[in-house]
Structure 1
Amino acid sequence: MPITPQYVESIIEKERPDGIMLSYGGQTALNCGVKIDEAGILKKYGVSVLGTQVPGIMATEDRQRFKDSMVKCNVPVLKSKTVHTFDEAKKVAKDLGYPVIVRVAYTLGGKGGGVASNEIELHEIAGRGLAASLVGQILVEEYVGDWKQIEYEVMQDYSKNNVIVCNMENVLSMRVHTGDNIVVAPSQTIDNHEYHMLRSAALRATKHVGIVGECNIQFALDQASDTYAAIEINPRLSRSSALASKATGYPLAYMSAKIGLGYSLPELVNTITKKTTACFEPALDYIVCKHPRWDFTKFELANRSLGPTMKSVGEVMAIGRKFEEVLQKSIRMLDVGKDGLVLNRQNGESFNDEQIEEHLQTPDDNILYYVVAALHKGISIEKIYQLSAIDPWFLNKINNIVEVERRLKSSTLDHKLLSDAKKFGFSDNQIGRAVKKDGLEVRKIRKDLGITPVVKQIDTLAAEWPAQTNYLYLTYGGTENDIFITKKDSGIIVLGAGPYRIGSSVEFDWGTVNMVWGLQDGGEKNVVVVNCNPETVSTDYDICTRLYFEELTLERILDISEFEQPNGVVTSVGGQTANNLTPKLVDSGITLIGTSAENVDKAENRSKFSQVLDTLHIGQPSWQAFTNITDAKNFALEVGYPVLVRPSYVLSGAAMKVVWSQTELKKFVNEATIVSPDHPVVITKFMLDALEVDVDGVCDGENVAIGAIVEHIDSAGVHSGDAMMCIPPWRLSNKIIENITDSTTRIAKEFNIRGPFNLQFLVKNEQAYVIELNIRASRSMPFVSKFVKVNIISLAAQAILGKKISNIPQEMWANTGMHGIKVPQFSFMQLEGADIVLGVEMQSTGEAACFGNSFYDALSKGLTSVGYNLPKTGSALVTIGGVENREKLLHTSALLKSLGFKILATETTAEFFAEKLGDVTVVHKISEPDRKPNISDLLHEKKIDFIINIPSTSTLEKYVGMLYDEYQIRRKSLELGIPVLSTIELAESFVKTLEWLQKNETSKKPLESYKDII
Structure 2
Amino acid sequence: KALREEGIKSILVNPNVATIQTSRRIADKVYLEPLTVPTLIDILKMERPDGIMLGFGGQTALNLGVKLYRTGIFDELDIKVLGTPVKGIEITEDRGLFKNRMLEIGVSVPPSKPVYSVGEALAAAEEIGYPVIVRVAYTLGGGGSGVAYTPEELRRIVMTALPQSIGHQVLIEKYLKHWKEIEYEVMRDRKNNCITICALENFDPLGIHTGDSIVVAPTQTLTNREYQILRSAAIKVVRGVWVIGECNIQFGLDPRSEDYVAIEVNARLSRSSALASKATGYPLAYISAKLALGYTLPELLNKVTGVTTACFEPALDYVVVKIPRWDFDKFEGPIDRTLGSQMKSVGEVMSIARSFEEAFQKAARMLDIGLEGIVCNDLDIPLNVVEEELRNPTDRRFYLLPLAMRYGLSIEKIYSMTGIDPWFLYKIKSMIEMEDKLRSMDPQDPTLPEVLKEAKRIGFSDRQIAKCLGLTEDEVRRLRLRYNIRPRAKIVDTMAAEWESQTNYCYMTYGDTEDDVKVKEGKKIIVLGAGCIRIGSSVEFDYCTMHTAWSLKEEGIDEVIVINNNPETVSTDFDMTDKLYFEELSLERVLDIWEYESADAVIVSVGGQTPNTLAKPLAERGVKILGTDAKYIDMAEDRRKFSSLLEKLNIPQPEWIYASSVDAVKSFAKSVGYPILIRPSYVLSGAAMRVVFNDSDVEEYLRLATKVSREHPVVVSKFIYNAKELEVDGVS
After TM superposition, the structure 1 stretch with the greater mean CA deviation from structure 2, 466-475 or 10-19, is 466-475
Query: Which structure 2 residues correspond to residues 386-535 of structure 1 after superposition, within 5 A?
Result: 386-413=416-443, 414-488=448-522, 490-535=523-568
- Structure-2 residue corresponding to 1:817: none
Question: Would you say 1:267 and 2:299 are equivalent positions?
Answer: yes
Alignment partner for residue 199 of structure 1, among 228, 231, 243? Answer: 231
Query: Which structure 2 residues correspond to residues 373-388 of structure 1 after superposition, within 5 A?
Result: 373-388=403-418
Cα distance in 2 for partners of 1:158, 1:320 equals 36
Cα distance in 1 for partners of 2:467, 2:371 equals 12
SS of the equivalent of 2:567 reads: coil
Query: Which structure 2 residues correspond to residues 112-261 of structure 1 after superposition, within 5 A?
Result: 112-261=144-293
- Structure-1 residue corresponding to 2:14: none
Aligned residues: CA RMSD:
1.3
Cα distance in 2 for partners of 1:53, 1:148 equals 31
Alignment partner for residue 583 of structure 1, among 591, 606, 616? Answer: 616
Write out per-residue CA displacement over residues 835-876 of structure 1, whole angstroms, 9 at most, x where no aligned residue.
xxxxxxxxxxxxxxxxxxxxxxxxxxxxxxxxxxxxxxxxxx
Normalised to the residue count of structure 1, the TM-score between the two structures is 0.68
| 1:19–1:486 Cα change, 3 Å | closer
Query: Which structure 2 residues correspond to residues 829-848 of structure 1 after superposition, within 5 A?
Result: none
Cα distance in 2 for partners of 1:516, 1:147 equals 45
| 1:492–1:11 Cα change, 3 Å | same
Q: How many residues align?
A: 695
- Structure-1 residue corresponding to 2:392: 362
Letter in 1 for 2:634: D
Cα offset, 1:195, TM superposition: 0.7
- Structure-1 residue corresponding to 2:728: 695
Cα distance in 1 for partners of 2:698, 2:415 equals 44
Cα distance in 1 for partners of 2:379, 2:255 equals 35
Cα distance in 2 for partners of 1:235, 1:273 equals 27
SS of the equivalent of 2:729 reads: strand
Letter in 2 for 1:272: V
| 1:412–1:625 Cα change, 3 Å | closer
Letter in 1 for 2:257: S
After TM superposition, the structure 1 stretch with the greater mean CA deviation from structure 2, 370-379 or 10-19, is 370-379
Write out per-residue CA displacement over residues 212-250 of structure 1, whole angstroms, 9 at most, x where no aligned residue.
110100000003131100000001111100000000000
- Structure-2 residue corresponding to 1:629: 662
Cα distance in 1 for partners of 2:657, 2:70 equals 62
| 1:58–1:573 Cα change, 3 Å | same
- Structure-2 residue corresponding to 1:8: 40
Query: Which structure 2 residues correspond to residues 1001-1012 of structure 1 after superposition, within 5 A?
Result: none
Cα offset, 1:614, TM superposition: 2.7
Cα offset, 1:405, TM superposition: 1.0
Letter in 1 for 2:419: A
Cα distance in 1 for partners of 2:707, 2:415 equals 34
Question: Would you say 1:30 and 2:62 are equivalent positions?
Answer: yes
Cα distance in 2 for partners of 1:360, 1:640 equals 44
Cα distance in 1 for partners of 2:48, 2:124 equals 47
Normalised to the residue count of structure 2, the TM-score between the two structures is 0.93
Letter in 1 for 2:635: K
- Structure-1 residue corresponding to 2:573: 540
- Structure-2 residue corresponding to 1:594: 627
Letter in 2 for 1:629: V
Letter in 2 for 1:275: V
Cα distance in 2 for partners of 1:64, 1:642 equals 56
- Structure-2 residue corresponding to 1:809: none
Write out per-residue CA displacement over residues 344-367 of structure 1, whole angstroms, 9 at most, x where no aligned residue.
2xx222423x54333222111121
Alignment partner for residue 96 of structure 2, among 64, 79, 82? Answer: 64
| 1:670–1:356 Cα change, 3 Å | closer
Write out per-residue CA displacement over residues 627-685 of structure 1, whole angstroms, 9 at most, x where no aligned residue.
12223223223332222111111001100011122222222122212211233221222
After TM superposition, the structure 1 stretch with the greater mean CA deviation from structure 2, 314-323 or 123-132, is 123-132
Write out per-residue CA displacement over residues 188-211 of structure 1, whole angstroms, 9 at most, x where no aligned residue.
111111111111111011001000
- Structure-2 residue corresponding to 1:348: 379
Cα distance in 2 for partners of 1:442, 1:686 equals 43
Write out per-residue CA displacement over residues 562-583 of structure 1, whole angstroms, 9 at most, x where no aligned residue.
1011110000011100000010
SS of the equivalent of 2:221 reads: coil
Query: Which structure 2 residues correspond to residues 843-992 of structure 1 after superposition, within 5 A?
Result: none
Cα offset, 1:69, TM superposition: 1.0
Letter in 2 for 1:154: V
Unaligned segments of structure 2, at least 5 residues: 1-32
SS of the equivalent of 2:437 reads: helix
- Structure-2 residue corresponding to 1:17: 49
Cα distance in 1 for partners of 2:587, 2:624 equals 14
Cα distance in 2 for partners of 1:647, 1:26 equals 37
Query: Which structure 2 residues correspond to residues 614-625 of structure 1 after superposition, within 5 A?
Result: 614-625=647-658
Letter in 1 for 2:296: S
Unaligned segments of structure 1, at least 5 residues: 700-1014
Identity of aligned residues (%): 53
Cα distance in 1 for partners of 2:637, 2:544 equals 20
Query: Which structure 2 residues correspond to residues 30-109 of structure 1 after superposition, within 5 A?
Result: 30-109=62-141
- Structure-1 residue corresponding to 2:699: 666
Cα offset, 1:696, TM superposition: 2.6
Cα distance in 2 for partners of 1:99, 1:628 equals 52
Cα offset, 1:484, TM superposition: 3.0
Cα distance in 2 for partners of 1:357, 1:595 equals 48
Cα distance in 2 for partners of 1:223, 1:626 equals 54
Cα distance in 2 for partners of 1:310, 1:502 equals 15
Cα distance in 2 for partners of 1:265, 1:698 equals 48
Cα distance in 1 for partners of 2:659, 2:171 equals 56
SS of the equivalent of 1:480 reads: coil
Cα distance in 2 for partners of 1:123, 1:511 equals 47
SS of the equivalent of 1:487 reads: coil
SS of the equivalent of 1:538 reads: helix
SS of the equivalent of 1:534 reads: coil
Which has more radius of gyration?
1
Cα distance in 2 for partners of 1:221, 1:681 equals 50
Alignment partner for residue 343 of structure 2, among 304, 310, 318? Answer: 310
Cα offset, 1:396, TM superposition: 1.1
Cα offset, 1:605, TM superposition: 1.1
Cα distance in 1 for partners of 2:330, 2:638 equals 22
Question: Would you say 1:561 and 2:561 are equivalent positions?
Answer: no
Cα offset, 1:380, TM superposition: 1.9
Cα distance in 2 for partners of 1:360, 1:665 equals 32
